[in-house]
């Protein structure tokens, strides 16, 4: 797992249980931390894994928001009020950078 992880697939939500399982395994298997370097390495690994989980969760919620009838209902009046006709290019991949620097993808109408 790398910092700046890019979630390419809008269906990455299926990976959430896998990452939760990895975190659970880390909890069940205590590590012997005997030096500041060990502690730093453990903290770095935990942060990477939780950031990884967070990026999948952000992508999941972003996709649900894009798919929601509420968002589509809010868009309709804006499209109707636009001064010139707008063209719908259909579903395209949208990328959003999270506060932690991860990029999550979702599919939305543009």
What does the alpha-carbon distance between residue 3 and residue 42 come to, in Å, rounded to a whole number? 15
What does the alpha-carbon distance between residue 48 and residue 45 come to, in Å, rounded to a whole number? 5
What does the alpha-carbon distance between residue 43 and residue 30 come to, in Å, rounded to a whole number? 13
Q: Write out the two tokens for 94.
A: 């949208």
Q: Write out the two tokens for 7.
A: 């979630």
Cα-Cα-Cα-Cα dihedral sign, residues 90, 110, 16, 22 = positive
The answer, as to whether pTM is greater than 0.75, is: no
Q: Write out the two tokens for 9.
A: 């697939």
Condensed to tens digits (0 to 9), the pLDDT of residues 55-78 reads: 888 888 888 888 888 988 888 898
Average pLDDT over every residue of 43-60: 88
Task: Return the closest-CA partner of residue 10 out of 105, 95, 81, 103.
Answer: 105
Average pLDDT over every residue of 32-60: 90
């Amino acid at each position: 797992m790398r910092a700046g992880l890019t979630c390419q697939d809008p269906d990455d939500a299926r990976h959430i249980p896998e990452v939760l399982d990895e975190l659970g395994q880390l909890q069940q298997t205590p590590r012997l931390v005997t030096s500041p370097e060990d502690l730093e390495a453990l903290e770095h690994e935990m942060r990477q894994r939780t950031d990884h989980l967070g990026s999948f969760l952000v992508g999941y919620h972003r996709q649900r928001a894009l798919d929601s009838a509420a968002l589509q209902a809010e868009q309709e009046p804006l499209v109707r009020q636009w001064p010139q006709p707008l063209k719908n290019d259909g579903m395209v991949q949208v990328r959003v950078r999270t506060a932690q620097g991860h990029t999550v993808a979702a599919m939305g109408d543009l």
